[in-house]
Structure 1
């Protein structure tokens, strides 16, 4: 892998779709754009990774962006409105992948951007800006998916716990090039699962110097990902 991709993560639409449980074809359309019934629909955002071979790839930020886009679409918000929200938010907070941050909420109809303002007395307060109406809203809107991502001080996504922290599996672009890993040992789940199938749990644990519990966690995670998603 090229040095510039270290810490970025690199996923094909199939690999990303397997993790996100989103059809690879849908991810490709989001990142490449598509034409339907004579109408051209532009991509939702510019991909983080372009290695120049003409194929679509996702970086870790793309993975997190796609995860939120999928959640918004499931809530009933159209891709056209999401594209516009990304454009407006990117301009407001100068962030190429704004939906990958922890500053968004939705009520199923609108998309809101969390804004921190400082008043004339120097006091900070949190408000929610309706990106479509450019109006502030004060609603208790919660996105459970944010709870499985660790964010930095600036709201940037650092790592993702696909099945929650208790499952012990993490996706971290700074480790194993973004492949899902057993959190305590940093061994990719696919490797531990393959070893377990070939050698058995006990021998796999000995071979990779990890606990049998770590191998079982990897097996459980890979088992959940087994069903294939149609394009």
Structure 2
């Protein structure tokens, strides 16, 4: 598993908890699928293939998933998103271009190139209306990458899933990308499980972490469960 250090490792179920995109949809997007005999290619190639017949995601897949889901939520078809990824991959040279910092500034032009290539003018106007009806293009990107930090190449490197103040981070270089308490470095799932089983105070003493770390972890994991249920 050493080759996964710095990449992160998530099952579709774990990715669903963090992004609120249903696990079945994640699998379809990464593996492709058939509808009435019509094949649909994957939106992009996953970072991880453990050659065990199961689907996994890396941290970059997780970030790409967040952006793709936000576009689809606002009316851009999966076909258009796939085509935009292919064009942006050629332009930027990244395998996961939607989640790059650069895409935030010039990704709109890429989508318009896609529409020009595969549809008529009315479709282009429809896409523009989608971006401007409720959210600007920049707002869609900003919303999907909220709390994400980028490295010097413009690639996402760290995610604060509930904001900096809550001090919970998703870092592909630590705990295989599982959410951790920033102060102690312990996965939130571990602290929360101990807190539920033993109480926050005993759990804090057992792991030698501040009481606030356990309480934050319990709150965060409860939010994930509520999001999944919703």
Residue 31 (structure 1) aligned with residue 24 (structure 2)? no
Q: 2-side partners of 1:87 and 1:113: how far apart? A: 15
Any residues of structure 2 matched to 1:19-58 within 5 Å, and which? 19-58=18-57
Is residue 2:151 matched to residue 1:152? yes
1-side partners of 2:46 and 2:214: how far apart? Answer: 34
Structure number with the higher helix fraction is 2
- Looking at structure 2, the residues matched to 52 and 30 of structure 1 have their Cα atoms a distance apart, in angstroms, of 18
User: What secondary structure, in the 3-state scheme, does the structure 2 residue paired with 1:205 have?
Assistant: helix
**Cα deviations across residues 78-112 of structure 1 (Å, max 9, x unaligned)?**
1000000000000011000111212234xxxxxx7
Corresponding residue for 2:138?
Answer: 141
Q: What is the 5 A alignment of 1:154-169?
A: 154-169=153-168
How far apart, CA to CA, are the structure 1 residues paired with 2:225 and 2:16?
A: 12
Alpha-carbon distance in 2 for matches of 1:3, 1:215: 28
2:77 is the alignment partner of 1:84: no
Which structure exhibits the higher relative contact order, with contacts defined as CA atoms closer than 8 Å and separated by 6 or more residues? 2
2:148–2:159 CA contact under 8 A, matched in 1: yes
Consecutive unaligned residues of structure 1, counting only runs of 5 or more, are 106-111, 115-127
- Deviations along 1:60-86, one digit per CA (max 9) or x if unpaired, are 100000011111111111100000000
Structure 1 residue aligned with 2:106: 113
Structure 2 gap segments, 5+ residues each? 117-127, 129-135
TM-score, normalising length from structure 2? 0.84
User: Deviation at 1:229?
Assistant: 4.2
Structure with a larger share of its residues in strand = 1
TM-score of the two chains, using structure 1 as the length reference: 0.84
Aligned to 1:119: none
